[in-house]
A and B are shown apart, each in its own frame.
Chain A
Amino acid sequence: KAGVTQTPRYLIKTRGQQVTLSCSPISGHRSVSWYQQTPGQGLQFLFEYFSETQRNKGNFPGRFSGRQFSNSRSEMNVSTLELGDSALYLCASSSMAGGDTQYFGPGTRLTVL
């Protein structure tokens, strides 16, 4: 089975712009979670989608949003980018919602200038 794929792998944006990141889960997985990883804050949970519904949400401002499509692919959007949004954004898929083994993609490295 193909693993979790994330596109793009690297992205450079400027403050105020918006960005959309994409995640394709492992075939058959219906849950997709998003995490932000930074040296200072570590791995922080953004949100989880299961069967197109947001099941859990972390403590991030409304500028961070996501969605999941009927084929389980997920997108994450960040509007009005700030310098502090520079991070590695990781996507993970699992067959069930929460509590199950998560399989991570390689991440998208976002740099905000």
Chain B
Amino acid sequence: AQSVTQLGSHVSVSEGALVLLRCNYSSSVPPYLFWYVQYPNQGLQLLLKYTTGATLVKGINGFEAEFKKSETSFHLTKPSAHMSDAAEYFCAVSGSGGYQKVTFGTGTKLQVIP
């Protein structure tokens, strides 16, 4: 069984401020972890993913996330928010190996204040 918890359904930051979106997961097997972004009226787009190896993962648009096994966390960060970052962000977990279902969190809407 696996699950994802995203803390905060809405997060507001000022333009230029640090973005921190929180994600905690549970998984009975070594996890694969993902962050996706969704802009209005569009599908989801992959930002970054962790499978194995380096625990700090860099993604597109300046985002990065760190896999912390001891904390079962995979928080998403960006040093300086841009207006174009306003969107909904989804954390997802999957078990490693084949035929593993992907479970998504409930999403966090990021608002960037000019």
Contacts and interface: CB of A to CB of B under 8 A. Distances in A.
B43 A45 contact: no
Interface in B21-59: 32, 34, 36, 41-46, 49
Interface in B67-106: 90, 94-106
Give the secondary structure class of B's interface: strand
Contacts of A50: 99
Interface string A75-113: 000000000000000101000111101111111000000
Given A98-B94, A98-B99, A99-B94, A43 B107 contact: yes
A15 interface: no
A33 interface: yes
Task: Specify which of B36, B44, B97, B105 lies most central, judged by the most chain A CB atoms within 10 Å of its CB.
Answer: B44
21 contacts: A43-B90, A43-B106, A45-B101, A45-B102, A45-B104, A55-B99, A90-B44, A97-B98, A98-B95, A98-B98, A98-B102, A99-B94, A99-B97, A99-B100, A101-B46, A102-B46, A104-B44, A104-B45, A106-B41, A106-B43, A107-B42
